[in-house]
C-alpha cells in the first residue's frame, strides 16, 4: 500500500462501502457522485481503492482525497481481490459493501442497504443486491445484443436482476458489483483470495464467489434483496461471442481452484470430459435459453487449467 487518507473518526459505521478501481477514473467519478449525497447523515463510510491505475487515471482519482466523507487508498500492485482486501482492512463497518467502479447506485441505495442489513440475523454473512444492466448505445446492433443473451451470459456480465427479499443459501446469487459481507466473517476467513481475483485485463475473477462458497460451507447464510440497486455499465466490447467465450473459460479455471482435493478435481474433470463431446455437438444448434457454447467453454477452461 502506498498511501491512504484516514476517514474522520465519528463512530463506527454500519457499512463500509469499498470501490476498487483500475484505469476507470471517469466511472468512479460517476459512481461516487451518485453515492456520496446519499451518505450524508448515514452510518456509512466510502473507501475508494486505486489498484495501480496508470498515471492519467491516478491523477484524476487522487483528487478524491478532497471529497468529504470519502477515504482514498492507492496500491502499487494491481488486482481486484487485493484492492478489496485493502478496503476491507481500512474499513470499520459491521458490513463491508462491494461496489464495482462502473456500477452506479440508484437513489435510496444507502438507506435500503442499511435497512436490509439490519433485517439479517447473525448467521447471515452475505447480502447480495440487485444489479441492473445499463446497455451501451445501439446495443441491439452489436454481435451479441441483449435479446440474444441467456441467463448464463447475463451472469457472466454480472447481471442479477431478480425480485424479492429472500434466503438464497441453497442457490446463492449475487456478484461483487453490489454485495455486502459481514466484516467478522471476512476476518475469520482471512479476506479475499488474491489468487482468484481479476488482475488487469485477465478475465479470471471470482474472489467474492469463492468467499460465498466458503462461508456457506462454514454454516452461514446468504440473502438477496432487490431493494438496493445499481445500474451496471455493460461495455460494448463485452457483447461479443469471443468475450463471453473467454469469460466462460476463465470461470472454468476459477471453479477448478475452488475444488480443494485432488479427488474432487479428478471427479469433476471426468464429468466434464464425458459431457464435452455432447456439448460440442449441441452448440451447433444453440439457442439463448440453452447457451451450450458457454457450458462447453466453461468445461474447456477447467480442463485447460487442469492439464496445463
Q: Which residue has the cell 478435481?
A: 265
- DSSP assigned state of 221: E
Q: Assess whether 215 and 228 both reside in one domain.
A: yes
Residue 128 above 50 pLDDT? yes
- The domain boundary, picked from 199, 223, 239, lies at 239
For residue 65, the domain's CATH number is 3.90.550.10
Confidence of residue 257 (pLDDT cuts 50, 70, 90): confident
Cα separation, 244 vs 209, in Å, equals: 18
Q: Assess whether 69 and 214 both reside in one domain.
A: yes
- CA Rg value for the chain: 19
Q: Assess whether 136 and 7 both reside in one domain.
A: yes
pTM for the structure as a whole: 0.88
Cα separation, 140 vs 108, in Å, equals: 30
- The domain boundary, picked from 239, 255, 284, lies at 239
Q: Assess whether 186 and 288 both reside in one domain.
A: no
pLDDT, residue 255, reads: 84
pLDDT, residue 82, reads: 93
Cα separation, 257 vs 265, in Å, equals: 9
Least confident of 58-62, 144-148, 237-241, 249-253: 249-253
Distance from chain centroid for Cα 171: 17
Confidence of residue 4 (pLDDT cuts 50, 70, 90): very low
Q: What confidence tens digit (pLDDT) does each residue in 11-32 have?
A: 789 999 999 999 999 999 999 9
Q: Assess whether 235 and 247 both reside in one domain.
A: no
Confidence of residue 1 (pLDDT cuts 50, 70, 90): very low
Domain count, the chain: 2
Residues 6+ apart with CB under 8 A from 85: 191, 192, 194
Q: What confidence tens digit (pLDDT) does each residue in 160-173 have?
A: 999 999 999 999 99
Residue 145 belongs to what domain range? 3-239
Q: What confidence tens digit (pLDDT) does each residue in 189-227 have?
A: 999 988 765 554 444 467 888 899 999 999 999 999 999
Amino acid at each position: 500500500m502506498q498511501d491512504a487518507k484516514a476517514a474522520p473518526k465519528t463512530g463506527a459505521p454500519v457499512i463500509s462501502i469499498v470501490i476498487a478501481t483500475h484505469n476507470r477514473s471517469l466511472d468512479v467519478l460517476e459512481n461516487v457522485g451518485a453515492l456520496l449525497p446519499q451518505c450524508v447523515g448515514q452510518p456509512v463510510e466510502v473507501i475508494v481503492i486505486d489498484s495501480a491505475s496508470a498515471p492519467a487515471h491516478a491523477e484524476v482519482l487522487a483528487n478524491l482525497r478532497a471529497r468529504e466523507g470519502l477515504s482514498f487508498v492507492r496500491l502499487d500492485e494491481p488486482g481486484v481481490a487485493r484492492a478489496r482486501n485493502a478496503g476491507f482492512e481500512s474499513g470499520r463497518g459491521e458490513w463491508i459493501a462491494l461496489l464495482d467502479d462502473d456500477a452506479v447506485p440508484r437513489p435510496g441505495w444507502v438507506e435500503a442497504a442499511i435497512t436490509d442489513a439490519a433485517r439479517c440475523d447473525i448467521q447471515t454473512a452475505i447480502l447480495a443486491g440487485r444489479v441492473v444492466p445499463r446497455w451501451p448505445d445501439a446495443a441491439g446492433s452489436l454481435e451479441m445484443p441483449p435479446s440474444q443473451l441467456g441467463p448464463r451470459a447475463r451472469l457472466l456480465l454480472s447481471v442479477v436482476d431478480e425480485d424479492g427479499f429472500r434466503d438464497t443459501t441453497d442457490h446463492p446469487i449475487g456478484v461483487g458489483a453490489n454485495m455486502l459481507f459481514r466484516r467478522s466473517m471476512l476476518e475469520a476467513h482471512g479476506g479475499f483470495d488474491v489468487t482468484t481475483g481479476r488482475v488487469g485485463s485477465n478475465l479470471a475473477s471470482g474472489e467474492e464467489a469463492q468467499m460465498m462458497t466458503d462461508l456457506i460451507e462454514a454454516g452461514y447464510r446468504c440473502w438477496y434483496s432487490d431493494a438496493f440497486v445499481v445500474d451496471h455499465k455493460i461495455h460494448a466490447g463485452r457483447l461479443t461471442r469471443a468475450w463471453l467465450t473467454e469469460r466462460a473459460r476463465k470461470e472454468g479455471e476459477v471453479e477448478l481452484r475452488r475444488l480443494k482435493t485432488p479427488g474432487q478435481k479428478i471427479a469433476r474433470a471426468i464429468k466434464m470430459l464425458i459431457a464435452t463431446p455432447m456439448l460440442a455437438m449441441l452448440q451447433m444448434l444453440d439457442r439463448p435459453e440453452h447457451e451450450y457454447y458457454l457450458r462447453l467453454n466453461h468445461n474447456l477452461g477447467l480442463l485447460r487449467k487442469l492439464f496445463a
